[in-house]
Amino acid sequence: MRYLPLTDVDRSAMLGDIGAPSIEDLFRDVPVAARRARLFDLPLHAGELEVERHLSALAARNIAAGSVPSFLGAGAYRHHVPAAVDHLIQRSEFLTSYTPYQPEISQGTLQYLFEFQTQVATITGMDVANASMYDGSTACAEAVLMAGRVTKRRRIVLSGGLHPHYRDVVKTMTGSAGFTVDVAAADVFGEEDLAASIDKTTACVVVQYPSFFGHVRDYATLSAQCRDNGALLIVAVTEIVSLGALKPPGDMGADIVVAEGQSLGNGLNFGGPYLGLFTACTQYVRQMPGRLCGETVDADGKRGYVLTLSTREQHIRREKATSNICTNSGLCALAFCIHLTLLGGDGFGKLAAINHANAVMLADRLSGVKGVSVINRTFFNEFTVRLRSPAAPIVETLAARRILAGVPISRVYPERADLADLLLVAATEVTTTADMEALVGGLKEGV
Amino acid sequence: MAMSRDGRPTIPRNSSVAGMPAPTFTGHRGLQLEEPLIFEQGQPGRSGVDLPDPPKVEHRMGTSVRTRPIELPGLAEPQVVRHFVRLSQKNYSIDANLYPLGSCTMKHNPRLNEKMARLPGFGDIHPLQPITTVQGALALIDEVAHWLKTLSGMPAVAMSPGAGAHGELCGLMAIRAAHVARGDARRRVLVPDSAHGTNPATAALCNYEVDGVPANKRGRIDLAALKAKLGGDVAAIMLTNPNTCGLFEDQILEVADAIHGVGGFFYCDGANFNALVGRVRPGDLGIDTMHINLHKTFSTPHGGGGPGAGPVVFSAPLAPFAPLPYVVHGPDGFALKEHDGGQAFGRLKAFHGQMGMFVRALAYMRSHGADGLRQVAEDAVLAANYILAGMRGVIDPTYPGPCMHEVMFDDSSFKSSGVTTLDIAKALIDEGFHPMTIYFPLIVHGAMLIEPTETESKESLDLFIGALRALITRAKARDSAGFQAAPRFAPVRRLDETRAARQPVLRWSPPQPKQAAE
């Protein structure tokens, strides 16, 4: 076994030193009935080549999004990741280290977390960010729980523009904690007004920016309405690249901003691992979930970094902790940090501008297809189109022709037959004119 | 001196070290290169990417266009690469040396796993692609699920939880749903005092009242105390096995019978599954649900604190309540159940789970096979007992052996000398080792929990034993002064955690103008 250094000679010698007659003897506390004498019914060990063949064969049964024209978004976006990112995150010292519990020999991880927190707070326009959560949806649920702690209220309002999966995760994670969840109807046209749903019992309002259907709205008025009622405004961003072109949610008065950070540095990976971003105003920092990295000095007065404010956390506070999270998305945060460092502020803005321009060109082209209409007046790099017939079968047909046309709204709103003709379409910097033409051609024949 | 709740000092004790070399002109020390923050290095006009000018279009972003600049520094690629390489050199890693963090299972991370996860057919597929275009991905998830069910002896598994603590949430939510479904909502969850902090935190998140159960003198759960706490309002017990003292819960069948006897469920924290994999099935121990940390037992890397993956196995009574989405076998191949899950308790994550980790775990499982995994558990347990034996004559384990895959010591033999467990840990750093888990579990004073894993050679274990023997011997000889300066050979010396918490600086800010600084 190539991963196991002990030889049979070693094992015998070690058992001798221990004074145990056999390995079996070391398992003597296990009830006899539960000791399995025989191997389980699973394949036996295999060499690299055989394992690689097996997994490559499975991989070959999937269509990689990058190998075909792809317009999929809805919370996961295909972007170009600079080569240096993947090289750097595979360095042993990043890949094979653990949570930085011993800061003297973890300054590499701690310093990039400090840089990551600064980057995330900067682009969202917020005061402080944590060291990451599992993904955008769990960050969103944690934000709602935090709003409950801050306001001591238990009623929450979810926008109809929130990703339906985020909505479901929030409902699941808050359900057993005694929250009442008001979910607004699907906001296809980006025109919902939540003012009437907010009152003095509201803990928070959760909106998405840009919305699930792609609309870009200014939430400054909503923020004021929340403040008047003592409720918090939580803004969820599923496409973090948008903040290179859009006003930061912090500038609109958001109290908590959560986001999916996958777009920077991280691949699609069939939905995970992804990167939850979590930011808040300074006044709420002690109610935040997750790890926080802070600056300090060492015994020589030299600058250094440690995990801090850990009295919020499960390993100290146990049942009184702000969250149960322990492991987060460290390596994904590193990938994000490196990608954003390579881009810099100017590059991030330019990347966002290219995304938007490509989406505008795609929207204009699709508007020209008979039977296709673009619903959005505003969008960033993703928008909703209405087809003349249900979108799902058309998407299937085009997939068979190796075009990934977008996400049919029916995939996430199966109960809304009236939305079956809608298709969510995204373009990023990797989308080419030829890709757009392929989709236009496919829809001309398909709708 | 500032102390944490568990009696661990949080302010460095002294700041002068006799015999330290004079500072260099650059501040560097040989290969140890100092590195400022990226925010202190940027220059306008620099960038690490070349992007074309955006096509000229009339924007459609309404009134929400960004008007202020994005205050992030510009660095060229060579600077960025150098920055992160220098940072990496300040980190300890399992690739460099033994990493004996108890309950964390820091084992070798095969690079084949990384290579496989980067195949475009896995790494570059979108979670909402048509099902027909991701049959291989669903087959892979199904195969990992099969391995987990077989190894655990349980009939069902939820693949979506993102890490161990997320898996705990999954398990408790299924338990809650099962009780609610039979009109029997319950309010208490029993958690041993030795449990990981995530256990009580998870129970609280599910709105359960946490009721502690003490350990007995043998480091196991006190069965009599447990039975005294049982009642019709107990939803579950959350027990780690092997437990956080590195011991097998030898009365586990009695624990299972007792909790089932009052209609409760048995949650097992599977953080320590490495001791059992391929050898003992949790399903044979009366367990109803357990999370499996793929980043521990199945060696998907820890990545400096994630991403992990925490699939959760279920017994038959809990299986119907597993969350959405899940893979099903359809007439035309695999399908994904994303809606209308019947009794499914809900959804835990935006998409289908940590696919990248599943690929790595399957590469690991296939490489080891049924025979190799059994050897993993045996070698892991052997290595821990070898350390226990190797410390004989210097320090006794807190509880007599055999231990499972990790061994527990404490500070009782040296605390009168003024040396703390923290001192031992910091001195180990100077010896070139990552310290063991310290001050956990909380039930043991000055705990030192050592988990070597199966991927250490005998020579490597011998060197670690030698170093630890020397340190404990010195500690018992009352050489406390010698410990206080440790670590002397790390990139930084002991850090002031009290200052970090009292005056939190959680992000970089531009330097204050001179006036304000004065």
Residues 6 or more apart in contact with residue A211 via CB below 8 angstroms: A159, A161, A162, A187, A190, A217
DSSP A186: P
What are the C-alpha distances in Å from B379 to residues A1, A23, A370, B277, B281? 12, 9, 67, 11, 17
CB-CB under 8 Å, B62 with A378:
yes
Which structure tokens are listed for B60? 């459609």
Judged by a CB distance cut-off of 8 A, whether residue B385 touches chain A is yes
Could you tell me which chain A residue has the CA closest to the CA of B76?
A342
> Which of B67, B89, B173 has its CB closest to that of A108?
B89
Burial B68-78 (b: 16+ CB within 10 A, else e): eebebbbbbbe
Q: Which two tokens stand for residue B256?
A: 């299972």
Q: Least CA distance to B107: which residue of chain A?
A: A96
ipTM of the complex: 0.98
DSSP helix/strand/coil, B209:
strand
Residues 213-242 of B with CB under 8 A from A: none
pLDDT reported for residue B217: 95
Q: Which residue of A has its CA nearest to B16?
A: A300
Q: Does B355 touch chain A (CB under 8 A)?
A: yes
Residue that the structure tokens 């496919």 belong to: A442
Residue of B2, B278, B65, B293 lying closest to B152 (CA atoms) = B278
pLDDT at B15 over 60: no
Q: Please calculate the CA angle B293-A259-A228 and round it to the nearest 5 degrees.
A: 125
- For B29, phi then psi, to 5°, come to -130, 90
Interface contact B163-A61, CB threshold 8 A: no
Closest CA relative to residue B256, chosen from A31, A217, A91, A182:
A31
Q: What is the helix (H) or strand (E) element at residue B142, kind and residue range?
A: helix B135-152
Q: Does B496 touch chain A (CB under 8 A)?
A: yes
Which among A341, A378, A403, A428 is the top mutation candidate for probing chain B, defined by the most B β-carbons within 10 Å of its own β-carbon? A341
Residues in Cβ contact with B278 at an 8 Å cutoff, skipping those fewer than 6 apart:
A39, A40, B151, B368, B370, B371, B372, B373, B374, B375, B376, B377
Q: How far is CA A102 from CA A108, B431, B437, B490, B495, in A?
A: 12, 14, 10, 11, 10
Using the Cβ of B84 and the Cβ atoms of chain A, whether some distance falls under 8 Å is answered with yes
Could you tell me where in chain B the CATH 3.40.640.10 domains are found?
Answer: 113-365
Q: Is A62 within 8 Å of B112 when comparing Cβ atoms? A: no
Write down the domain spans for chain A.
Answer: 65-80+342-446, 84-339
pLDDT score, position B10: 81
Quote the DSSP letter at residue A406. -
Cβ–Cβ contact B512 with A under 8 A: no
Q: Outline which parts of chain B fall under CATH 3.90.1150.10.
A: 371-494
Beta-sheet pairing, B448-450 with B407-409: antiparallel
Query: Over the range B293-316, which residues count as b (16 or more CB within 10 Å of their CB) and which as e?
Result: bbbbbbbbbbbbbbbbbbbbbbbe
Chain A residues whose beta carbon lies within 8 Å of the beta carbon of residue B429: 102, 104-105
Q: Is B131's pLDDT higher than 90?
A: yes
Average pLDDT over every residue of B272-301: 97
| Best CA proximity match to B355, nearest among B122, B130, B146 | B122
d(CA B515, nearest CA chain A) in Å: 23
CA distance B246 to chain A (A): 12
Whole-number pLDDT of residue B238: 97
Are the Cβ atoms of A271 and B402 closer than 8 angstroms? Answer: no
Architecture in CATH for domain A84-339:
3-Layer(aba) Sandwich (3.40)
Cβ neighbours, 10 Å, residue B67: 7
Neighbouring-strand partners of residue B449: B408, B437
- Say which of A97, A163, A318 has its CB closest to residue B201: A318
Start-to-end C-alpha separation, chain A: 56
Q: How many CB atoms lie within 10 A of CB A19?
A: 12
pLDDT < 50 regions, chain A? none
The structure tokens listed for A34 are 């539960």
User: Please, are residues B405 and B242 in contact by the beta-carbon 8 Å criterion?
Assistant: yes
Residue B411 distance to chain A (closest CA, Å): 19
pLDDT for the residue numbered B516: 47
Nearest CA in chain B to A306: B497
Contact A10 B60 (CB under 8 A): no
- Does pLDDT of B220 surpass 70? yes
Does the predicted model carry a pTM greater than 0.90? Answer: yes
Contacts of A305 in chain B (CB under 8 A): 495
| Strands annotated E in B176-297 | 188-192, 209-213, 234-240, 265-269, 289-291
The encoded tokens of residue B290 equal 């357990």
Would you state the pLDDT for residue B518?
40
Task: Quote the CA–CA distance of B414 and B395 in Å, as a whole number.
Answer: 9
B113-365 under CATH 3.40.50.150, yes or no: no
Residues of B in contact with A399 (CB under 8 A): 129-130, 132-133
Residue B405 CA to residue B275 CA, distance in Å, equals 5
pLDDT value for B17: 52
Q: Are the C-beta atoms of B219 and B245 separated by less than 8 Å?
A: yes
Q: Which tens digits make up the pLDDT trace of A292-333?
A: 999 999 999 999 999 999 988 888 888 888 898 988 999 999
Q: What secondary structure letter does DSSP report for B336?
A: E
Nearest to B92 by CA among B366, B436, B346, B455: B436
CB contact under 8 A, A396 and B130: yes
Residues A384/A444, Cβ–Cβ less than 8 Å: no
What are the Cα distances from residue A239, in Å, to A36, A202, A231?
A: 49, 27, 25
- The one-letter amino acid at B238: M
Closest chain A residue by Cα to residue B506: A294
pLDDT tens figures, B343-359: 999 999 999 999 999 99
Question: Would the CA dihedral through B490, B493, B494, B497 be positive or negative?
Answer: negative
Token pair of B87 as six digits: 């940072």
Q: B491 Cβ partners below 8 Å, 6+ apart?
A: A104, A105, A107, B32, B89, B90
Q: Tens digit of pLDDT for each residue in B444-502?
A: 999 999 999 999 999 999 999 999 999 999 999 988 888 989 999 999 999 999 999 99
What six digits make up the tokens of A433? 């004119």
Q: Cβ–Cβ of A309/B504 closer than 8 Å?
A: yes
B432 at the A interface (CB within 8 A)?
no
Residue B120 to residues A70, B116, B125: CA-CA distances in angstroms?
Answer: 14, 9, 7
Burial zone of A16 (CB within 10 Å; 0-12 exposed, 13-18 middle, 19+ buried): exposed
Write the pLDDT tens digit of every residue in B369-408: 999 999 999 999 999 999 999 999 999 999 998 999 999 9
- Angstrom distance (rounded) from CA B177 to CA B289: 13
Beta bridge partners of B265: B236
Q: Does domain B371-494 have CATH number 3.90.1150.10?
A: yes
Q: Are B200 and B236 in contact (CB under 8 A)?
A: no
**Closest Cα in chain B, distance from residue A15 (Å):** 7
Residues 6+ positions from B466 with CB-CB distance below 8 Å:
none
Residue-level length of chain B: 518
Average model confidence (pLDDT) for chain B? Answer: 94
Class of domain A65-80+342-446 as given by CATH? alpha beta
Closest CB to A404: pick one of B112, B129, B386: B129
pLDDT of residue B20: 60
Q: Tell me chain A's radius of gyration from C-alpha atoms.
A: 25
Start-to-end CA span in chain B (Å): 30
How many beta-carbon pairs under 8 angstroms link A with B?
Answer: 727
A1, B12: Cβ pair inside 8 Å? Answer: no
How far apart (Å, rounded) are the C-alpha atoms in residues B290 and B292? 7
Interface probe, candidates B67, B84, B179, chain A, greatest A C-beta count within 10 A: B84
Name the residue with tokens 């690629």. B77
Q: Give residue B517's pLDDT band: very low, low, confident or very high (50, 70, 90).
A: very low
> Any idea of the CA torsion for A311, A317, A321, A323, to the nearest 10 degrees?
90
